Copies of this chain bind each other. A is one copy, B any other.
């Protein structure tokens, strides 16, 4: 955070928006008018559709500012929205960002947050086209709506999986969850004894996955290049188990997913074991990986085979067969979502 502290009331709501958004440059041709009017204007062309998704992040529920730098938070808030558009096989182009903050935050804190938002917008080629800034009685809330585009014929929903399709996940799973465990552990040690410095050594990868996830637009580009259109797709925000269930229920199919196939980084596994957790459980229920989960027709198998970013973890079955996880001993276990149900925490 830069030095000095500017109280929010010094700037006022309109100036604050202007102040925080002045360095955002519009990049997409479809953005006709961005911030500064009652609504943004987005142009359209035939054969294309707009994709819209929204996400609300609440301090104390979705993030903890004890260990989440505001710049990372801004970056992550944008990325998780982009991920939803990618999961439709589309391209994210515009976002609106609304924030509510208490007077606890100086303007400099919001500048940090918007620096992160700006960085994500730059890297992912997104235009910030609107938003709302208001005060809250306590804490910080961030609400982002993302708008994307796709050719009508390219859109992939959750509901197209068919029997015998292959189930693929990108990247590796469970790392963001283990990163969170490390951060929570160090926070609790710090709270007990503030003199002890946090020990994050050797955990860069998993902490990075928690604090600064990326959206897999590379995968969407790869699939286009490989001429593969998934039959269904979803992003893994709430844990693999929860997403598989969503996908199967939306598609009205069953599945077999194999424990031994689930890609887990060795750093994730080692940390899980340190915490007396089963790495597979972390991958299934951990959440926040923002990888893509999709299904393809078996005829596309040769095209994806050997792709280092894609792992086949199972196949789609008849709806009557149920949604099953096959453990390393070959036991069939019915999958139940545990995911991030915030109301149960």
Taking beta carbons and an 8 Å cutoff, which residues of A are in contact with B?
8-9, 11-14, 16, 32-33, 36-46, 48-56, 58-62, 83-85, 87-88, 90, 94, 96, 98-100, 103, 129-132, 134-139, 141, 143, 145-148, 152, 155, 157-159, 233-235, 246, 250, 340-345
Q: Is B136 a contact of A61 with CB atoms below 8 Å? A: yes
Q: Contacts A13-B342, A343-B135 given: A51-B56 contact, CB under 8 Å?
A: no
Question: Max chain B CB contacts within 10 Å: which of A42, A45, A139, A340?
Answer: A42
Give Cα A50–Cα B34 distance, bound, in whole angstroms.
12
Number of copies: 2
Q: Is B40 a contact of A53 with CB atoms below 8 Å? A: yes
Give Cα A233–Cα B38 distance, bound, in whole angstroms.
9
Give Cα A33–Cα B51 distance, bound, in whole angstroms.
9
Chain B residue numbers with a CB within 8 Å of A342 are 13, 134-135
Q: Is B58 a contact of A134 with CB atoms below 8 Å? A: yes
Q: Is A100 a contact of B61 with CB atoms below 8 Å? A: yes
Q: Is A158 a contact of B37 with CB atoms below 8 Å? A: yes
Chain B residue numbers with a CB within 8 Å of A41 are 49-51, 88, 155
- Other-chain contact of A88, B8, B39, B344 (Cβ < 8 Å): B39
Q: Is A96 a contact of B135 with CB atoms below 8 Å? A: no
Closest to A11 in B: B343
Q: Is A44 a contact of B50 with CB atoms below 8 Å? A: yes
Chain B residue numbers with a CB within 8 Å of A83 are 38
Q: Is B90 a contact of A135 with CB atoms below 8 Å? A: no
Q: Is B61 a contact of A137 with CB atoms below 8 Å? A: yes
- Other-chain contact of A84, B38, B52, B90, B344 (Cβ < 8 Å): B38
Please list the 9 inter-chain residue pairs (A to B) with the smallest Cβ-Cβ separation, ordered nearest first.
A44-B44, A143-B143, A39-B53, A145-B145, A56-B98, A39-B51, A38-B87, A38-B84, A42-B50
